[in-house]
Amino acid sequence: MLLKEYRICMPLTVDEYKIGQLYMISKHSHEQSDRGEGVEVVQNEPFEDPHHGNGQFTEKRVYLNSKLPSWARAVVPKIFYVTEKAWNYYPYTITEYTCSFLPKFSIHIETKYEDNKGSNDSIFNSEAKGLEREVCFIDIACDEIPERYYKESEDPKHFKSEKTGRGQLREGWRDSHQPIMCSYKLVTVKFEVWGLQTRVEQFVHKVVRDILLIGHRQAFAWVDEWYDMTMDQVREFERATQEATNKKIGVFPPAISISSIALLPSSVRSAPSSAPSTPLSTDAPEFLSIPKDRPRKKSAPETLTLPDPEKKTTLNLPGVHSSEKPCRPKSE
């Protein structure tokens, strides 16, 4: 198990970023998706937790085989996805990643947002009590990103927001910029397979760091797109973008015909919402129907005539003689 705490500062307030993170996640997922690979949204609905209160639950499938390193592609099937489950109780969120192909692999992320420059050293004391962790600061303006992901329009050193006047962040901006907030992320990576554990866990943390850096840069670079949105508007944008993303990677909702049936008790309806749905129409599908003009086979008689049980019938079989009296064995 490898535990790290990431701290990513943003030239925003926590209240502002509540809209920005939803917009960024939806748009980023759509941009990174292509036919057969990307992020499929399985479920997105309100959720209430007795401790954290009202929130939003989402379940996604992340298809990313081509993005794996060569040594990982050698052991991972091409039809492969990671399940992401997230509980958003902003300004606190929980995200979990699992993979059915790799049951000993998991990523657990807890996030807290505060209006400061990453100076709270005890923010995860209750969650990671007694556990050693490395603290990693991520600078959205000055840290390098993989070249294939670089866009000048999304570079905080060059971007300046028209609506907020913020931007063109220079080295040391976190010490003086106002407003400023910080995303604190406690990331636990587990891959309990002897011989591969250290290598895989280190690789996953590198991927996580790159994703966090790219995502937060985009959230700020797109600020003029989402800054005036209300929560209802960003939820509608989220819904429409998720629908377009599912189509982009080749996921289409099934056509279902539902007849009138009684609902099953909750104890019986235990299948997950992501399970494929079964059509409930009583009509056979077209490819199973019998052609009406199919010629009738002649290998069997058109009708079958049975003997009348009230009439006596003599069966002349070899070695058998009919008689009015029952047969008895001959006496010697």
Domains and CATH numbers, the chain: 2-246 (3.30.530.20)
pLDDT at 206: 92
Burial 50-63 (b: 16+ CB within 10 A, else e): eeeeebbebbbbbb
The burial of 96, by beta-carbon neighbours within 10 Å (0-12 exposed, 13-18 middle, 19 or more buried), is given as middle
pLDDT at 64: 65
pLDDT at 39: 82
**Residue-by-residue pLDDT tens, the chain, 332 positions:** 889 999 999 999 999 999 999 999 999 888 877 655 678 889 999 999 998 899 999 999 887 655 566 665 565 666 678 899 999 999 999 999 998 777 888 999 999 999 999 999 999 988 887 788 899 999 999 999 989 889 999 999 999 999 999 999 999 999 999 999 999 999 999 998 888 888 889 989 998 999 999 999 999 999 999 999 999 999 999 999 988 888 877 754 433 333 333 333 333 333 333 333 333 333 333 333 334 444 444 444 444 455 555 555 444 444 444 444 444 444 44
Look at strands 134-138 and 92-98 and give their pairing. unpaired
Q: Is 182 left (phi over 0), alpha (psi -120 to 50) or beta?
A: beta
8 A C-beta contact, residue 83 and residue 59: yes
Q: Which single residue is written with the structure tokens 């056509």?
A: 255
Strands (E), 150-287: 181-191
pLDDT at 319: 46
- pTM of the model as a whole: 0.71
pLDDT at 62: 83
- CA separation for the pair 156, 331 (Å, rounded): 118
pLDDT at 18: 96
Distances (CA, A) of 267 to 43, 264, 270, 276, 310: 21, 8, 6, 19, 59
3-state secondary structure of 62: strand
3-state secondary structure of 226: helix
Distances (CA, A) of 127 to 3, 16, 47, 61, 124: 12, 26, 22, 27, 5
